[in-house]
């Protein structure tokens, strides 16, 4: 992993400005599902953690990108710089979220990152509920563009077998940069098996409550049996 993580300062600022609220319409619904201490993996700038805290859900989180950790901490969130595949969850964590395809990031040759994260997280004794979304096997090549007052964003996604590369070109405050993200696609049947092997049941859907997922993604609510 690069020292800057997956999102350097410019890309993190652009994500915060344009993309952190992608599933915000589902936050109320998510809060109603959570009955114990929350840990948010890949918390980004902490938008969801802040919402949860404001609605009575105590939580903490982690992210692999230092710029996001700084942003979330600036909003008084308890966030550590850690990888979802190795993070030490607080002992009492019963509920985990990973919103925005957080668990999908890994180089094509790496083991499947969703399985690696579940193998690490599911044995946690207090854990009984996990909500996350992943990229489905029907993902296609796509292009996305966007912009705001001081930024432009252009992404080209190329799917090769069970993995994808997203080449992201950004301009912010007159500075250009290019970042490549690599992610794995996830087969829903394989995912059910991985969870079942850990004693969890998977409820698979296409929304967080009223908030529809992006195209070619699906969400999982995993509950300990």
Give the footprint of ligand SAM on this chain (CB under 6 A). 5-7, 20, 41-44, 47, 62-65, 68, 83-85, 99-102, 105
CB 62 to ligand SAM: min, Å: 6
- Within 10 angstroms of residue 100's Cβ, the number of other Cβ atoms is 20
d(CA 112, CA 114): 6
d(CA 162, CA 184): 6
Give the up-direction half-sphere exposure of residue 132: CA atoms within 13 A in the CB hemisphere. Answer: 32
Asked if 67 contacts 9 with a C-beta cutoff of 8 angstroms, the reply is yes
CB 101 to ligand SAM: min, Å: 6
d(CA 51, CA 97): 13
d(CA 134, CA 220): 8
Phi, psi of 74 (to 5 degrees): -65, -20
- Of 88 and 199, which has the nearer Cβ to ligand SAM? 88
CB 147 to ligand SAM: min, Å: 18
CB 69 to ligand SAM: min, Å: 9
- Of 171 and 179, which has the nearer Cβ to ligand SAM? 179
The side-by-side arrangement of strands in the sheet containing 142-147 is 142-147, 151-160, 163-172, 175-184
- Of 11 and 201, which has the nearer Cβ to ligand SAM? 11
CB 225 to ligand SAM: min, Å: 26
- Of 10 and 63, which has the nearer Cβ to ligand SAM? 63
Handedness of CA 188, 190, 191, 197 (dihedral sign): positive
Asked if 75 contacts 48 with a C-beta cutoff of 8 angstroms, the reply is no
- Of 102 and 130, which has the nearer Cβ to ligand SAM? 102
- Of 7 and 200, which has the nearer Cβ to ligand SAM? 7
CB 163 to ligand SAM: min, Å: 14
């Amino acid at each position: 992993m690069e020292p800057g993580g997956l999102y350097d300062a410019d890309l993190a600022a652009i994500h915060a400005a344009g993309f952190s609220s992608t599933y915000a319409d589902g936050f109320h619904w998510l809060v109603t599902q959570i009955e114990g201490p929350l840990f948010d993996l890949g918390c980004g700038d902490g938008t969801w953690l802040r919402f949860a805290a404001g609605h009575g859900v105590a939580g903490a989180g982690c992210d692999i990108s230092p710029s996001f950790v700084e942003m979330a901490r600036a909003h008084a969130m308890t966030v550590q710089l850690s990888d979802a595949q190795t993070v030490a969850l607080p002992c009492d964590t019963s509920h985990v979220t990973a919103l925005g395809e957080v668990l999908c990031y890994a180089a094509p040759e790496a083991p499947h990152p969703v399985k690696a994260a579940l193998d690490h997280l599911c044995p946690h004794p207090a854990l009984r509920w996990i909500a996350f979304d992943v990229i489905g096997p029907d993902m296609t090549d796509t292009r996305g563009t966007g912009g705001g007052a001081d930024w432009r964003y252009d992404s080209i996604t190329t799917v090769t077998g069970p993995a994808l590369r997203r080449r992201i070109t950004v301009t912010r405050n007159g500075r250009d940069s290019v970042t490549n993200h690599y992610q794995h696609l996830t087969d829903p049947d394989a995912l059910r098996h991985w969870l079942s092997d850990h004693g969890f049941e998977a409820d698979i859907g296409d929304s967080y409550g009223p908030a529809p997922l992006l195209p070619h993604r699906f969400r999982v609510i995993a509950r300990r049996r």
